[in-house]
Amino acid sequence: MSVLKIERDGAVTGLVLDRPDSMNPLGQAGDGDAFTSACDAINADLGVRCVIFTGAGRAFSAGGDIKAMKDKTGNFGGTAPEIADGYRNNIHKVLRALHGLRVPLIAAVNGPAIGLGCDLACLADMRIASDRAKFGVTFLKLGIIPGDGGTWILPRIIGEARAAELFYTGEVIDAATALDWGLVSRVVDHDALMNEARALADKIAAMPPHALRQAKNLMRQGRGTSYDTALEMAANAQALMHTTADHMEGVDALIEKRVPRFTGE
């Protein structure tokens, strides 16, 4: 059975981690390929304008498979070079696939997001948390370090000092603290989580698809470029957007005081 359940509903696709009995761990053979296949299909389909990522059952994801770590199986067995290749060829594929999504990604964090699970949530553009959600990067408590690029991801969201506090203590924070620290943008009643995520996704999905993807790309590229480079990229992307039918639809709708209907043309 695949680790992912894929649920397409109009312009919104849901990705659901689907190992609820074990709190949605990752690291089994094929996990990386499942994420790569799903995200490649989304990127190739202009009909998809937003993705909601969540977990089945009571957890978002408990992270790596602790039983496999104990038994030294799967990604966590073999020599040191073999373990490194296991990360590169499986777990890192999961992370690269999510990071490479060209459409906006909402993480609907329905419960504990621990270790790798927290870092997966942090790859989303936006995070909405259930009031039952918890967040932690507890790698050091297991005598390991974040093998998933978490030391690159988390400081960019909550800052170096708070990321260091979480990494070095292994503490788990609740949803209210996550909101205060800027790790999530809102906390909602658990039963309202998916409706809130879908309402946000629908607002995003109403935007013109080409401009939406360009906007995400410019935000992503802007993290590591100079302001002059960002301006040049913006000029080139903007020139393309001015040639689209969706641009004229937006202008006409504003003048005519009506809701625009963007078609991706």
- For residue 27, the model assigns a pLDDT of 85
Q: Set out the domains of the chain in order of their start, with CATH numbers.
A: 4-205 (3.90.226.10), 209-256 (1.10.12)
pLDDT digits (tens, 9 = 90+) for 222-243: 888 999 999 999 999 999 999 9
What's the pTM? 0.94
In angstroms, what CA-CA distances link 90 with 28, 97, 159, 186?
8, 11, 28, 31
In the chain, the amino acid numbered 63 is G
Mean pLDDT, the chain, rounded, equals 94
- For residue 147, the model assigns a pLDDT of 87
- Say if residue 66's pLDDT is above 70: yes
Residues 6 or more apart in contact with residue 258 via CB below 8 angstroms: none
> Torsion angle of alpha carbons 251, 252, 258, 262, nearest 10°?
-70
Tell me the Cα Rg of the chain.
19
Residues 6 or more apart in contact with residue 54 via CB below 8 angstroms: 14, 15, 16, 17, 60, 107, 108, 109, 110, 193, 194, 197
Pairwise CA distance, residues 64 & 69, whole Å = 8
Grouping H, G, I as helix, E, B as strand and the rest as coil, residue 218 is: helix
- For residue 75, the model assigns a pLDDT of 79
**148 vs 50, higher pLDDT:** 50
In angstroms, what CA-CA distances link 98 with 32, 34, 152?
10, 11, 15
pLDDT band at 265 (very low <50, low <70, confident <90, very high): confident
pLDDT digits (tens, 9 = 90+) for 67-124: 888 888 877 888 999 889 889 999 999 999 999 999 999 999 999 999 999 999 999 9
Buried b (16+ CB within 10 A) or exposed e, 43-79: eeeeebbbbbbbbbbebbbbbbbbebbeeeebbbeee
Helix 92-99 with 31-44: angle, nearest 10 deg? 10
4-9 vs 12-17, strand pairing mode: antiparallel
Query: CA quadruple 167, 169, 175, 181: dihedral positive or negative?
Result: negative
Q: State how far Cα 45 lies from the chain centre.
A: 18
Other Cβ atoms less than 10 A from the Cβ of 122: the count is 23
pLDDT digits (tens, 9 = 90+) for 30-64: 999 999 999 999 999 999 999 999 999 999 999 88
Average pLDDT rounded to a whole number, residues 251-263? 92
In the chain, the amino acid numbered 81 is P
Pairwise CA distance, residues 102 & 123, whole Å = 12
172-174 vs 134-136, strand pairing mode: antiparallel
- Say if residue 1's pLDDT is above 80: no
Pairwise CA distance, residues 6 & 37, whole Å = 11
Question: Is the distance from CB of 20 to CB of 57 less than 8 angstroms?
Answer: yes
